[in-house]
Chain A
Amino acid sequence: MNQPRNFIRVYVWELPVRLTHWINAACIVVLGVTGYLIAHPPGYMTATEASFGYWFGIVRFTHFVAAYTFVVALVFRIYWAFVGNKFARWRSFVLLTPKEWKEAVRVAKIEIFQVSDETIEPLGHNAVSSFTYAVLFLLALFQVISGFGLYAAMSHGWMPGLFSWVMPLFGSEQTLRSFHYAANWLFILFTVVHVYMVFYTDYVDGHGGLSGIISGWKFMDKRETAVPVASQSVPPAK
């Protein structure tokens, strides 16, 4: 790579994608923190009467509100996976063909193990991150199902009622709770790796991934022989 780099600005992340991304991010943080607090409430010695305090109730309430918000965002994102642009489509998250799996291995060699000097053109997600987000989606689905499965017992709402079949599947609520709680750790691991990887790609390839999820625009290396930018990546006319 010795010739000057020439970037063009391309619209990759549509507004609904960016919105759901940040709503999900906020929800995951809130759910993770409150979830941890519910499992490990901090103890303090006090002379206060119970009737004067409700902080643990508020922590739980926050957890439930964030859970509902997360579900709504998730459902909307699923809808958008069918109507959004190429980078938002469900197909871009799923590795189906052997070619796509080979690409994932190639990306891992370049970006994770760094044993290859080839370059990748990640306008949207690369094959490894696609795979990761697909797994994260399943994990989110599991958290929603197990969470509302736990919630169903203390709610008369129709929505949690849809999940009343979950608990018998796990045998007991305590078991279900263990799984729901353990999955929280996977979210923490994901968040650590995800944030690191965003910083990493931004640092290394200069495609502006970090700002892209705020503005929607990314930067693509333009080559002499570059194919015209796909029409889908042009922003809607103002």
Chain B
Amino acid sequence: MIAPVDISKRAPTIYEQMVSRGVSRRDFMKFCAWMSAYLGLRNTGVSQIAKALETRRRIPVVWMHFQECTCCSESFIRSSHPIVADILLDKVSLDYTETLQAAAGHQAEEILQDTITKYKGEYLMLVEGSVPLGADGVYCVVGGKSAVDTVHEVAAGAKAIIAWGNCACAGCVQAANPNPTRATPINAIIKDKPIVNVQGCPPIAEVMAGVLVHLLAFDRIPQLDHLGRPKAFYSRRVHDTCYRRPNYDAGLFVESFDDENAKKGYCLYKVGCRGPTTYNSCGVIRWNNGTSYPIQSGHPCIGCSEAQFWDNGPFYQRIANFPGFGIESTADQIGMTLGGITVAGLAVHAAMTNVRKRHEIGEQPGENAEAAEKSNQEADKGGAS
């Protein structure tokens, strides 16, 4: 047990903050073990996390909201372990967030300014929501400033950025075709800061917590994949971790939601499941304290942690509508139409050939088989005699 310290003299560590809020050492260690398991660390990772949280000073955090529905925040505060929410939401670190802060108006904006000037280069910027670039960013204005201006201003002094959810990572529904506000993900606006994309609509609470703990505890960016997502949570497809996967390999599919196969819990591939193209931890961590996830509840995955998932619809159809063509035209319909036209064209061509190329197809002078055979035999005879 760490000796109690007077935390008024210096910025408290995260652990000290927790203790002062009544978290027991036992709960703290449970939390560390839990987090290291989520992050895929070794056994020794537990003590690393514990030590880091005991010794590190609080990292200031600002949580920005732009074009979004706050489902990421909603997901986060439902995290199955209260300490996670405590770390941030009980102001251990969180300095600014539009939806949950007590302050309002000028007071709130002042806190933001204070934080980004006082902790320049030290604070974490968490972003929920995409940024509209259309019409000079007028579609999203907070406190008289457009989202795009705020993003540039806050990102400039940020140590790192966490983009929460599909909005901030890929634009989500507001960036779906035709994207009237030119909703743009953070990684397309800010290029000079490390960005962690925590995908999902919303992301799983434990994933959000895991990423935050990683940043707070180790003070560095977790390993990311080629789309900037933490590998610990997004390296496998929902499909690969799905308990219904054996049905897929065995070719046992739900044909419609009310058939016998659906009751048996067969694979939802043919009713549009996006599990095979979706990278997330739903099959492993699941939702709401590990209760369930969409596929377990009989609903196909809609691919909410992938870019363009709204445009790759309809959700209940295996083959998506083909981009660039009209609604409801899949590659199959286009292919069948082109195929029909081709076959009809070839039939016309074949008929035309027999008319126009008649003179070439028919027997040509000197091509009579019987005559040729006869002349050969005569030649043979001539040769023999």
Residues of A within 8 A of B (CB): 1-5, 39-41, 43, 45-46, 48, 50-57, 59, 112, 114, 153-154, 164-165, 167-168, 171-175, 177-178, 181-182, 184-185, 188-189, 192-193, 196, 200, 203-205
Contacts and interface: CB of A to CB of B under 8 A. Distances in A.
A56 B270 CA distance: 13
A13 to B, nearest CB: 23
B246 A50 contact: yes
Contacts, number: 142
A188 B255 CA distance: 27
Contacts of A114: 352-353, 356-357
Interface of B: 170, 226-227, 237, 240, 246-253, 255, 259-261, 266, 269-270, 274, 276-279, 303, 306-309, 311-312, 318-320, 322-323, 331-332, 334-335, 338-339, 342-343, 346, 349-350, 352-353, 356-357, 359-361, 364-367
B250 A178 contact: no
Contact of A171 (B250, B307, B346, B360): B307
A204 B362 CA distance: 9
A234 to B, nearest CB: 26
Contact of B246 (A51, A55, A205): A51
Contacts of B318: 39-40
Given A185-B334, A188-B339, A174 B364 contact: no
A174 B277 contact: yes
Contacts of B350: 196, 200
Given A54-B250, A172-B309, A192 B353 contact: no
Contacts of A57: 249-250
Contact of B251 (A4, A41, A112, A165): A41
A96 B250 CA distance: 50
A114 B319 CA distance: 40
A16 B234 CA distance: 44
Given A172-B308, A192-B343, A193-B346, A178 B320 contact: yes
Q: 6 shortest A-B CB distances, which residue pairs?
A: A4-B366, A185-B335, A53-B250, A56-B251, A173-B277, A182-B331
Contact of B361 (A154, A171, A193, A204): A204
B364 A4 contact: yes
Contacts of B346: 192-193, 196
Nearest to A47: B264
A178 B331 contact: yes
Contacts of A171: 170, 307-308
Given A174-B309, A182-B322, A52 B360 contact: no
Nearest to A39: B319
Contacts of A174: 274, 277, 303, 306, 308-309, 312, 320
Given A50-B247, A174-B306, A203-B361, A167 B226 contact: yes
Contact of B335 (A2, A112, A182, A196): A182
A1 B250 contact: no
A200 B335 contact: no
A205 to B, nearest CB: 7
- Among the interface residues B251, B274, B303, B350, which one has the most CB atoms of the partner chain A within 10 A? B251
B367 A4 contact: yes
A192 B303 CA distance: 36
B364 A1 contact: yes
28 contacts: A5-B366, A41-B253, A41-B270, A46-B252, A48-B252, A50-B247, A50-B266, A53-B251, A56-B249, A114-B357, A154-B240, A168-B226, A172-B306, A172-B307, A172-B308, A174-B274, A174-B306, A174-B308, A174-B320, A175-B312, A175-B320, A175-B323, A177-B277, A178-B312, A185-B339, A189-B338, A192-B339, A193-B346
